[in-house]
Structure 1
Amino acid sequence: MDLHFCWEIHVTRNHQNIGDIIQSLNTHRVNTLTELCRIERIAASGSEDDQLAFQEPMTSAWSYYVNSNQMLNELRNLTRDYPFSSDVLDDAKWRVSNDPASNRTWNYAWLVLIKMKDDEMIEAYAASEAAKPEMWAGRTPDDEEAQQLAACFAYAWNSALEQMLRHWDTAPSRTGN
């Protein structure tokens, strides 16, 4: 078999695989943090043309992941005893959308997670959540009770945040690597 022919088969299969991956992004068949990160690594390791082909579908897939509540679902699966607050996520999304530096990557999920961390949002929202009367069967907790519950929320939420951020060795860039 001719070496050139083998290379053409490899390139054709690679293009088909990239096309299939892009299609899975466009149809949202892939919508978990782990799988999106895996595809992001594939995109980052590709040629410049491949990276360009991935840019719009990857951007769209990350946005869908965050806005479809999948990100919130994954955070809540990591914080079953102290369910992650949607208010933290909504505020982080708002802050990212109003941050001029948010165009540094196509990865909206990473931007939202790193915003929570950098702005130290967890502690503030944990305290707010712990002070809600619905957390205490309708009564207002005393300061010590609220502080103890806030510490539990903060620990669980920060652990989930760190676990999700471990998917990236380095901050994703505009081209995905």
Structure 2
Amino acid sequence: MSSRHSRRSHGHSSGRNSRRTTQNTAQLIESLNTHRVNTLTELCRIERVAATASDEDQLAFQGPMTSAWTYYVTSNNLLSELRGLTRNYPFSSDALDDAKWRVSNDPESNRSWNYAWLVLIKMRDDQMVEAYAASEAAKPEMWGGRVPEAEEARQLAECFAWEWNEALEQMLRHWDTPPTTTGY
């Protein structure tokens, strides 16, 4: 009787786990579709769950996950998080807009469903931070309306670039494996 009981318990438990996994998947997908989850950390957490899900659940996650990453970038949440990490030298919205444009015009952008990762990698790989830091540092509004000396602008650009690169690297640390068609 105890072996029958344990078999029944095991079967019942397995069914419960399967049902729980299905409910959990449905809840996570709903949170993606309604944008209740809209931070880099939480989206990455769900992305990791999706990566380890069954093949059927991975397919179910695909569209909502892609849409959630796109919404995260286009709703300015990516910019807000970057600026939260760059309080001394606020991250350039122009740099981010250029990176988004570059990704949308890059034939390699189909290597990932993760728009945020593609944008961050584009900024890093195209060395956009240094160019935008120099541009930002040379603006007269950074200097009370006056045109800065070349050395002043260079020093400020280094400050911008250091803080912005630190923010990019901190955000990119969320992925142990690139979220690409060859990664997860």
Structure 2 residue aligned with 1:37, among 25, 39, 44? Answer: 44
Distance 2:99 2:116 in 1: 10
User: Aligned residue for 1:94?
Assistant: 101
Amino acid at match of 1:57: P
Structure 2 residue aligned with 1:159, among 163, 166, 171? Answer: 166
- Are 2:153 and 1:146 aligned? yes
Residue 174 (structure 1) shift: 3.5
Where do 4+ consecutive residues of structure 1 move more than 6 Å? Answer: none
Aligned residues: percent identity?
71
CA contact (8 A) 2:177 2:183 kept: no
Q: Which stretches in structure 2 are left out of the alignment for 5+ residues?
A: none
Listed one character per residue, the Cα deviations across residues 102-159 of structure 1 (whole Å, up to 9, x for unaligned) are 0111100000000000000000000000000000010000100000000000000000
Residue 175 (structure 1) shift: 8.3
Report the structure number with the largest CA radius of gyration. 2
Give the structure, 1 or 2, with the largest relative contact order (CA under 8 Å, sep 6 or more).
Answer: 1
Amino acid at match of 2:157: A
Q: How do 1:27-176 residues align onto structure 2 when only pairs under 5 Å count?
A: 27-174=34-181
CA contact (8 A) 1:41 1:176 kept: no
Amino acid at match of 2:169: E
DSSP-derived class of the 2:175 partner: coil
Query: TM-score, with normalisation over the residues of structure 2?
Result: 0.94
Listed one character per residue, the Cα deviations across residues 58-90 of structure 1 (whole Å, up to 9, x for unaligned) are 000000000000000000000000000000100
The number of residue pairs the alignment matches comes to 177
RMSD: 1.1
Query: TM-score, with normalisation over the residues of structure 1?
Result: 0.98
Listed one character per residue, the Cα deviations across residues 11-33 of structure 1 (whole Å, up to 9, x for unaligned) are 00110000000000000000000
DSSP-derived class of the 2:35 partner: coil
